[in-house]
Amino acid sequence: MSALVSGAHSLPPLRDWADFLAAARAPDSIDNGAGRHGRTAWAGASWERALQLATGGWFEILPEIEAQVSQLRARAGRLLRVSALRPSWDVTGGEVDIGAYLAGVPECMIDAAPEPMSTQGRVATFLIPAGYSADTPHHAVRNRGLALAALCCTVLATGHSVEIWSGFASWIGPRRHAAVAKVISAGEPLDLGRLIFATAHPAMLRRLWLSVWDSAEAPLAARMKRANYGSPSCACGPDDLPDQTTKPYIFPYLKAHDPQWRSLDTAVTWCLSTATELGLLTDPR
């Protein structure tokens, strides 16, 4: 059973995928929670199938994403590079190095020339809101998640690391309810099947996240169920993450008619533009 933190309506952060699965599998504190008992057509998978995908990964969709990864890498161009001044010493130069001159060093003149440096090595932290309204079509969920997975593959290929969090947020009257779970840790090998399930499959929300709330303390779980797990806005924010998380990028939450998720191509284009604005990639055009 999950305890509450940060006021009365937030759950503790689930700091790795195993913790998230344990919370989803915990016994329900209410009867007929939607996580285990919701309609399969609405959830996108049965409870048993959702657990299978969460533990083993959603791999049958990989051929579709492989083409998108290749396309995104081709469009992303080379690594973003910046310039830094690097000093050099010689017997002639633009200005004197007083310390070297007083020490009697002949090479006491200094010049500074710009030198390109790669920005690789950053950790890109993404928080992906798992919530969306009930009328959001499955294809929008899938397109956003597949585009994000393609983007992560591309960012990793440039030498950066990625950290992915999934977030749940909703409102019941004036009260906001929120929780986050880490899907991928920075530095660990990318589990692409897990990432695709967590970001692109509707059962991530409609089975597993709802099950996390169904196993919360009984009064909270019952309140969530009565309110159909809350209403939008499903937007997440940096304060939802643990304090030590630095400079996360918060994805917008899914809305039923968002134009950028209508197709996989439009979703990839949006992710490429976002990564370029963040300085993770550069578009050679």
Contact (CB, 8 A) for 198 and 164:
yes
Neighbouring C-beta atoms of residue 101, cutoff 10 Å: 12
Written as one string, the DSSP assignment of 199-256 is: HH-THIIIIIIHHHHHTB-HHHHHHHHHTTT-BS-----GGGS-TT--S-EEPPPB-T
Residues 152 and 273 in one domain: yes
65 is a domain residue: yes
- Residues 113, 126, single domain; the answer is no
Query: pLDDT digits over 15-39, tens only?
Result: 999 999 999 999 999 998 999 999 9
Looking at the fold, whether 111 and 139 belong to one and the same domain comes out as no
Q: Could you tell me if 108 and 224 lie in one domain? A: no
Residue 10 in any domain: the answer is: no
Q: Residue 189 carries which DSSP code?
A: P
Stated length of the chain: 285
Residue type present at position 48: E
- Over residues 238-282, the pLDDT tens digits come to 999 998 888 899 988 888 788 999 988 888 888 888 888 887 776
pLDDT truncated to tens, each residue of the chain (285 aa)? Answer: 444 444 446 899 999 999 999 999 999 999 989 999 999 998 999 999 999 999 999 988 877 667 766 766 565 544 334 344 566 767 677 677 666 666 777 776 777 665 544 445 678 899 999 998 778 888 888 888 888 888 888 787 777 788 999 999 999 988 999 999 999 998 888 898 999 999 999 999 999 999 999 999 999 999 999 999 999 888 999 999 998 888 899 988 888 788 999 988 888 888 888 888 887 776 545
Q: Is residue 7 part of a domain?
A: no
Element (H, E) at 258: none
The dihedral through the CA atoms of 267, 50, 235, 165 has a sign that is: negative
Please tell me the predicted confidence (pLDDT) of residue 177: 93
- Residue 8 resides in a domain: no
Same domain, 104 and 158: no
Whether 73 and 124 share a structural domain: yes
Largest CA distance in the chain: 85
Q: Enter the pTM of the model.
A: 0.79
CA distances from 113 to 82, 94, 95, 108 (A): 13, 11, 13, 16
Asked, for residue 171, whether it belongs to a domain, the answer is yes
Q: Which pair of tokens denotes residue 126?
A: 């993404």
Q: Does residue 1 lie within any of the structural domains?
A: no
What 187-191 contacts at long range (C-beta under 8 Å, 24+ apart), as own/partner pairs, is 187/161, 190/152, 190/153, 190/156, 190/162, 191/57
CB atoms within 10 A of CB 188: 12
Last residue of a domain, one of 118, 147, 168: 118
In a domain, 282, yes or no: no
- pLDDT computed for residue 5 by the predictor: 41
Domain span at residue 90 reads 81-118
Mark whether 251 and 210 lie in a shared domain.
Answer: yes
The reply to whether 93 falls in a domain is yes
The pLDDT score that the predictor gives to residue 54 is 96
d(CA 163, CA 224): 29
Counted domains in the chain: 2
Domain shared by 110 and 210, yes or no: no
Q: Which residues are within 8 A (CB) of 73 and not within 5 positions of it... i.e. 6 or more apart? A: 154, 157
Residues 110 and 158 in one domain: no
Q: What is the DSSP string of 57-118?
A: ---TTHHHHHHHHHHHHHHH-S--EEEEEEEEEESS-SEE-HHHHHTT-S--EEEEEEEEEE
> What's the pLDDT score for residue 183?
96
